[in-house]
A and B are shown apart, each in its own frame.
Chain A
Amino acid sequence: MAVLSGYCRVWLLRILALAVFSAPLPEALAQGLENRVKAAYLVNFTRFVAWPSEVASRLEICVAGSQGTYWALVKLLDTKGQAGRAFSARFVLRPDKASGCSAVYLASNDPDLQRYWLRQLPQSATLTVSDDAGFIDAGGMIGFLLIDGKLRFDINQAAINERGLSVSSKLLNLAHRVQRPKQEGRR
């Protein structure tokens, strides 16, 4: 708990710092290439996932821990013609605030934080994305990783399927590593 609260504090500080220094400059925050790539990937992930029909027409992508990624996402959704379905972006501070999120990106490679969030997130059909390869081993669904300076991702197909979602084979083909469901076989 102390660890967690410590992390909370770190995050709170970050957020405060963002609120104080960075809030007027979301454009600047959105400039980072990695943020933009990640934002684009987040949107693309949702496109290769088969959503339950009640949420399929309106997806909300929630970002935690990275204002830059959030603003990059907002900007992306603004510039992109939201063809077919409505996208929205939300910045969340705590996992229990993430209800209604179709996808949650936790910008952290801290395994403890990741496990905390995974545990605390609502047990709904929510696509969980985070940094670092260890995320899918901890039960996360998609984990970013940097290989040769290029952003790649691992997919835990089993975890996605457990939440009633399914992922397109096209996406699986692009993944660096796929954790397949153990008994049901490939879907």
Chain B
Amino acid sequence: MLRNVPIKRKILVSIVGTMIVMITLVGSVFVFYSWFSDRDTAARNLSSIATMFSLNTAAALSFADAGAANELLSSLRGMPEIRRACLYLEDLENGANSGLFASYIRGANIPPCPSREGQLKASQSSFLRVHRAVELDRERIGSLAIERGLADLKASRRVDALVLMVMLVGSVAVATLISNGMQSAIAAPLLSLLGTIRRVSADGDYCLRATRHGSDEVGELIDGFNVMLSSIATRDADLARTREELVLRIAETGAANTELRSVVEDLHRTQKQLVATEKMASLGELVAGVAHEINTPVGVGVTAASTLYGASRDTADAYKTGALTDGGLRRYFEQAMQSSTIILNNLRRAADLVNSFKRVAVDQTSFERRRFHLRSYLEETLLSLRPNLRNTEISVEIDCEASLEVDSVPGAISQIITNLVMNSLSHAFAPGQAGSIVIKAEASGEEVRLSYRDDGCGMDSEIREKIFEPFYTTKRGRGGSGLGMHIVFNLVSQQLGGRVEVVSSPGAGTEVCICFPAQQGTSAPG
């Protein structure tokens, strides 16, 4: 109810209202208390008056002297509050004599005593009545009833109430004055604080400070408010600084991100370059193998040709000089025939080799899809690897149906086999160690299952899990690029559209299982 009332009014109401309530309460209690206390006193007084008169009238009653009794009772005239007194005789011997014996009535407007005590009306609020037995030697000879009006008590209560009202009015006036004084003492600091708060919230100027008027709770409140303002100002400054820092940091982070992105792009580029380089490297190895392989027949051809040339020149010289004999010519022909046969055979062989290498090299660089016989292609691939295998004790065996024909990417298969064999040579077998490699291929439904197995040293699970990761190698700095198996994985998954898994444990050799679709479009992903 008071919640939305201004604080000045609250103070006024609290002081004046409290005053009114308290004075009314105390005054009412006082009036009621004094009413009951006066009534009680009056009752006690009346009781003692009754006792006194019952004692005094005993003699008159015992001697049946009504005149004396009336005279005695008439002395009550000195007490204006006594309105009526009735003295009754109780004659045990002669009941007929019992009844009103003497009485005192004050004023004409008061009814006379009834003839029997029992006919007295019950006590009323307008008067008090006391009954006393009149006794003589502890023998009841009569009874006295004295009534006392309450008008005097009521009048004095009216005076009390009047005084109370006057006090109330005076107190309200004084309380209003006091509360006016209190308003400036209590409300002024609060109103000043409120003004400061309004200014602060309107202007957002946290440098304003409330003025402290004293060291009471309001003073503490103002202090606290000022401290709060300070901390808000500090926090605002901190916040602004932090925001600037954040902007700066975001800019930095953006720059770093850009840089990182470019680094990652570089990395990807480098990785692609590395992969390409690796491919080129394997191509280089192929070329080296080809050169070595061609070297022998070409060399034999050269030797045979030079022999033929020497024989031809000798024979021609002999013809010019005429020293050519029939036998000599026959020998020359024989020699020429032999030499040309050797030359022809060796050149044909070199041509075969070049064709074979050309096919593998073209496949390895172009990754064209075509239909081919898997077994012969595997053999051609191994042929290109022969220079690497020649100086080892490792045998390579191909277990594949000659009729198995697939429509796939031969270059990828060739490079996969090359990388696997090179891995086996560099990781599985120690230099000079004997071993065997089995390449097994078989059709399995619409898929081809190509199993490459060596009986080398194998690898543990840690290596096996990371084996397809790019740049992962156990021989860094010793010729390992860490890309061989990564390229295998890429080729299998991207070029062949198949999947690869490695089964290996230390000492138990390594098996690489590659499954890929046997026909184009069966399950090749993009």
Which residues of A are in contact with B by a Cβ distance under 8 Å? 40-41, 44, 47-48, 76, 79-81, 83-85, 168, 170-171, 173-174
Contact B137 A79 (CB under 8 A): no
Which residues of B are in contact with A by a Cβ distance under 8 Å? 55-56, 58-60, 62-63, 65, 68, 72, 92-93, 136-139
A168 to B58 Cα, complex, angstroms: 11
What is the distance, in angstroms, from A128's C-beta to the closest C-beta of chain B? 18
Inside 8 A of B59's CB, which chain A residues have their CB?
44, 48, 168, 170-171, 173-174
- 13 A-B pairs with CB atoms under 8 Å apart are A44-B63, A44-B136, A47-B62, A48-B59, A79-B93, A81-B139, A84-B138, A170-B55, A170-B58, A170-B60, A173-B68, A173-B72, A174-B60
What is the distance, in angstroms, from A157's C-beta to the closest C-beta of chain B? 15
Smallest Cβ-Cβ distance to B66: which chain A residue: A150
Inside 8 A of A40's CB, which chain B residues have their CB?
62
Contact A174 B137 (CB under 8 A): no
Inside 8 A of A173's CB, which chain B residues have their CB?
59-60, 68, 72
A171 to B62 Cα, complex, angstroms: 10
Contact A174 B139 (CB under 8 A): no
A40 to B59 Cα, complex, angstroms: 12
Inside 8 A of A76's CB, which chain B residues have their CB?
93
What is the distance, in angstroms, from B198's C-beta to the closest C-beta of chain A? 91
A34 to B63 Cα, complex, angstroms: 13
A15 to B161 Cα, complex, angstroms: 79
What is the distance, in angstroms, from A153's C-beta to the closest C-beta of chain B? 8
Contact B138 A174 (CB under 8 A): no
A113 to B139 Cα, complex, angstroms: 36
What is the distance, in angstroms, from B71's C-beta to the closest C-beta of chain A? 8
What is the distance, in angstroms, from B268's C-beta to the closest C-beta of chain A? 138
Residues A85 and B65 in contact in the complex (CB < 8 Å), given A168-B59, A174-B59: no
Q: Is the interface of A mostly helix, strand, loop or mixed?
A: helix
Contact B60 A83 (CB under 8 A): no
Residues A83 and B139 in contact in the complex (CB < 8 Å), given A170-B56, A170-B58, A173-B68: yes
Inside 8 A of A168's CB, which chain B residues have their CB?
59
Smallest Cβ-Cβ distance to A80: which chain B residue: B139
Interchain CB contact (< 8 A) of B138 among A44, A83, A170: A83
**Interface contacts beyond A48-B59, A174-B63: sample of 20 additional A-B pairs, CB < 8 Å, sorted by A:** A40-B62, A41-B63, A44-B136, A47-B62, A47-B137, A76-B93, A79-B92, A80-B139, A83-B137, A84-B138, A84-B139, A170-B55, A170-B56, A170-B58, A170-B59, A170-B60, A171-B59, A173-B59, A174-B59, A174-B68
A165 to B58 Cα, complex, angstroms: 20
Inside 8 A of A174's CB, which chain B residues have their CB?
59-60, 63, 65, 68
What is the distance, in angstroms, from B292's C-beta to the closest C-beta of chain A? 167
Interchain CB contact (< 8 A) of B136 among A41, A47, A79, A81: A47
Smallest Cβ-Cβ distance to A87: which chain B residue: B137
Smallest Cβ-Cβ distance to A43: which chain B residue: B62
A143 to B184 Cα, complex, angstroms: 93
A141 to B497 Cα, complex, angstroms: 163
Smallest Cβ-Cβ distance to A36: which chain B residue: B93
Inside 8 A of B137's CB, which chain A residues have their CB?
47, 83-85
A76 to B63 Cα, complex, angstroms: 15
Smallest Cβ-Cβ distance to B58: which chain A residue: A170
Inside 8 A of B62's CB, which chain A residues have their CB?
40, 44, 47
What is the distance, in angstroms, from A129's C-beta to the closest C-beta of chain B? 13
Inside 8 A of A81's CB, which chain B residues have their CB?
139
A40 to B63 Cα, complex, angstroms: 8
Smallest Cβ-Cβ distance to B141: which chain A residue: A44
Smallest Cβ-Cβ distance to A170: which chain B residue: B59
What is the distance, in angstroms, from B453's C-beta to the closest C-beta of chain A? 145
A173 to B62 Cα, complex, angstroms: 13
A173 to B69 Cα, complex, angstroms: 10
A83 to B92 Cα, complex, angstroms: 14
Inside 8 A of B139's CB, which chain A residues have their CB?
80-81, 83-84
Inside 8 A of B93's CB, which chain A residues have their CB?
76, 79
A44 to B58 Cα, complex, angstroms: 10
A107 to B477 Cα, complex, angstroms: 171
Inside 8 A of B65's CB, which chain A residues have their CB?
174
A79 to B139 Cα, complex, angstroms: 13
A41 to B62 Cα, complex, angstroms: 8
Among B60, B63, B68, residue most surrounded by chain A Cβ atoms (within 10 Å): B63
A171 to B58 Cα, complex, angstroms: 10
Q: 7 tightest A-B contacts by CB?
A: A170-B59, A83-B138, A84-B137, A83-B139, A44-B62, A174-B65, A174-B68
Inside 8 A of A171's CB, which chain B residues have their CB?
59
Inside 8 A of B136's CB, which chain A residues have their CB?
44, 47
